[in-house]
Amino acid sequence: MTNLVFTVGNAMMGDDGAGPLLAELLERDPAPGWAVIDGGSAPENVMHAVRAAAPSKLLLVDAADMGLDHGAVRRIDPAQVADTFLIDTHAIPLDFLIASLAEDVPDIVFVGVQPARVAFYEDMTPAVRAGVQDLHRRLAAGEDPAGFAPVA
């Protein structure tokens, strides 16, 4: 395998479900050249599957507070995740997850989706759903996520 989308998030927490929604869309309508693993709210529990897939490129997708319009999709430098953009709904911090995966994966791209609300038992907002659908469309069209607009 060469490319893997690894999604993170909790579908029961409104817009934090951006990652799992992308995984669902990719399972239903795959993007050429990409496989998908949904890490859910405990991505550390499936890191063994990511390592076993041995991807040359990993796209990590999660909700990220970037101070942008709701549903905006941006590439984030993995080194900035802990300092600026972390939405802490996961058992281990994403910067630890990225550092661990970087030991085995040569190319990691982190893409954030700007949430509007992250709270238990909330529905995903239309803006975030549209952002995830656009991300899926872009992957299906063959766009390289390394070329996505970076967060400013």
State which amino acid sits at residue 89. T
The pLDDT score that the predictor gives to residue 92 is 63
The pLDDT score that the predictor gives to residue 23 is 98
Give dist(CA 103, CA 84) in Å, integer.
23
Residue 9, Cβ density class (10 Å: 0-12 exposed, 13-18 middle, ≥19 buried): buried
- Domains, the chain, ranges and CATH? 3-9+21-147 (3.40.50.1450)
The pLDDT score that the predictor gives to residue 79 is 74
Task: Return averaged pLDDT per consecutive 10 residues of the chain, 152 residues in all.
Answer: 91 96 98 96 93 95 93 88 54 77 92 94 96 98 94 84
- Tell me the torsion sign for CA atoms 140, 132, 68, 102: negative
**Of 104, 79, 85, nearest in space to 8 by CA:** 85
Give dist(CA 114, CA 94) in Å, integer.
16
Q: Which residues of 107-119 are buried (b: 16+ CB within 10 A; e: fewer)?
A: ebbbbbbbbbebe
pTM: 0.91
The pLDDT score that the predictor gives to residue 97 is 83
The pLDDT score that the predictor gives to residue 83 is 55
